[in-house]
Amino acid sequence: MNKQSAIRNPQSVFPNPQSVLFNPQSPIRTLQSPIPNPQSKIQNPKSALRVLFLTHCFIRNKDDFAGAFLFDLAKGLQDKWDIPLWRGGIDITVLAPHSKGLPEYEEIDSIKIYRFRYAPEKYEYLAYKSNMHEIVAKGFFSKLVFCSFVFYFLRDAINITKKHNIKIIHSHWWIPAGIIGLIVGKLSGKPYVVTSHGTDISLLAKFKFARPLAKIVFKNSIGITAVSNNIKSFMVNNLRINENKISVFPMPVNPSIFYPMTTKRGDEKIILSVGNFIELKGFSYLISAIKILKERKVKMKLILIGGGPYEKTLKQEIKEFDLNENIEILPSMAKTELNRFYNVCDIFVLPSITDSKGKQEGLGLVLLEAMSCKKPVIGTNSGGIPDIVKDMETGLLVPGKDSKALAEAIEKLLKDNILSTKLAENGYNFVKQNFTPDKIAEKTVQIYLSLTPIAIKK
């Protein structure tokens, strides 16, 4: 379907300081810019509860890993029917940043996705990465790009809220989406919910000057959700948020994507770890653990899947420890392919740490994906990981930054098939009972229903 662009292509924004970015009276910057109004596939759109997801990270295609959990949540919500007072169900619209090669509007499995342009394509480099704050901090130009990012994010959020008669705004991460939700909520009178996924809260551990702004975002919201109890504790203890206002539940794991399957494999024992190659993930400690296991004559192979700024460092460590035959690095891949690697492995490990900037693991969704494939997992006592890895019940929990403890846990599971099978079964059942899209959508619906009296009036 040929859709009219939601935003004019802002080719004149950079680098001319006289650009319309700095001229709010420019006719192409007016809040009346057209927004496509596609006919919803919801059964009865007039009686549907219309929710706008605001996020800086959402899937760019159906196999994308970036923000996949938000897509699973959106699908889980949109599949809910016969909700009290909203017999048409829930209609989800998503507003996310544009990136090179992406359409400005599309529908994926009936989820409407708008992508706001905030610069010429070659400068649209802020989103879909785990280090937006580091990019913005690098120089003046990146800060200018971020200002443009916020401007267009806000502009389209206002337009979509009006055009689609949005009833509830759901911001994912307090910055930048929570700030946008706060402003749009104040301007439109619509209630907004904020979900913290962890990385946004970790920033507050280092950048304490941002805490007052975070408090304003959270305290003005109608509801708050956090993906782990560790995040909730930080909000209560450091931001003085009322604990009764915060609901704790993680993002979902899709069992139609991550599931046990029969695979062909050899006799070699496979250890798997997946994540961005950044300090927080603690991969250096896992590499050191593999070195210890090699010295103990334990036969196994580690596969690291991901990419990021630490890749060169990790490869140097592998070479220095003479582990080229024991460790293989593979790039990030489609979810369907990743499912095959989960099923091939014998043990999944997430060695996350508290990094030098105070950041911690929000939850560790890859652990749940591995559990969903019925694999035993090892996690560290970092951030929200203890919420899902219950030591000797759903996995093994070890201290962070402890390569020896990691090595001992891996060796233990490799040698004890009974324990390994028990943990794999328990973890699998734990995910099925608590983390499917349907389960998480049901908890989210309860948050929305608590806002129904407000939403009906608006």
> What CATH number did the domain enclosing 26 receive?
3.40.50.2000
Among 137, 143, 98, which Cα is nearest to 121's? Answer: 98
Say if residues 194 and 447 touch (Cβ distance below 8 Å). Answer: no
Domain contains 233 = yes
- In this structure, are 132 and 81 located in the same domain? yes
CA distance 219 to 178: 11
Same domain assignment for residues 350 and 332: yes
Domain span at residue 138? 20-252+437-457
Spell out, as residue ranges, where the chain has pLDDT lower than 70.
Answer: 1-46, 81-85, 452-458
- pLDDT number for residue 26: 34
Q: Do 378 and 442 belong to one domain?
A: no
Residues 236 and 282 reside in one and the same domain:
no
- The answer to whether residues 191 and 286 belong to one domain is no
Does a structural domain hold residue 53? yes
pLDDT tens for each residue of 92-106: 999 999 999 999 999
Q: 102 and 225: one domain?
A: yes
Query: What pLDDT does residue 388 have?
Result: 95
Q: Specify the pTM.
A: 0.84
Q: How many domains does the chain have?
A: 2
Looking at the structure, tell me whether residues 443 and 423 fall in a common domain: no
Question: What per-residue confidence (pLDDT) applies to 86?
Answer: 72
Residues near 80 by Cβ (< 8 Å), separated by ≥ 6?
Answer: 89, 90, 441, 442, 445
Residue 2 falls inside a structural domain? no
* Residue 453, pLDDT score: 62
Instruction: Indicate whether 277 and 418 sit together in one domain.
Output: yes
Task: Give the closest residue to 113 by CA, choosing from 140, 94, 91.
Answer: 94
126 and 222 co-located in one domain:
yes
Q: Residue 30 domain-assigned?
A: yes
Tell me which residue has tokens 């919801």.
42
Three-point CA angle 233, 235, 238, nearest 5°: 95
d(CA 20, CA 16): 9
Whether residue 264 lies inside any domain: the answer is no
pLDDT at 206: 81
pLDDT at 454: 59
User: 427 near 394, Cβ under 8 Å?
Assistant: yes
Q: Are residues 279 and 243 in the same domain?
A: no
Identify whether 6 is part of a domain.
no
Answer yes or no: do 234 and 92 share one domain.
yes
257 is a domain residue: no
Does 265 fall in a domain?
Answer: no
234 plus 355 within the same structural domain: no
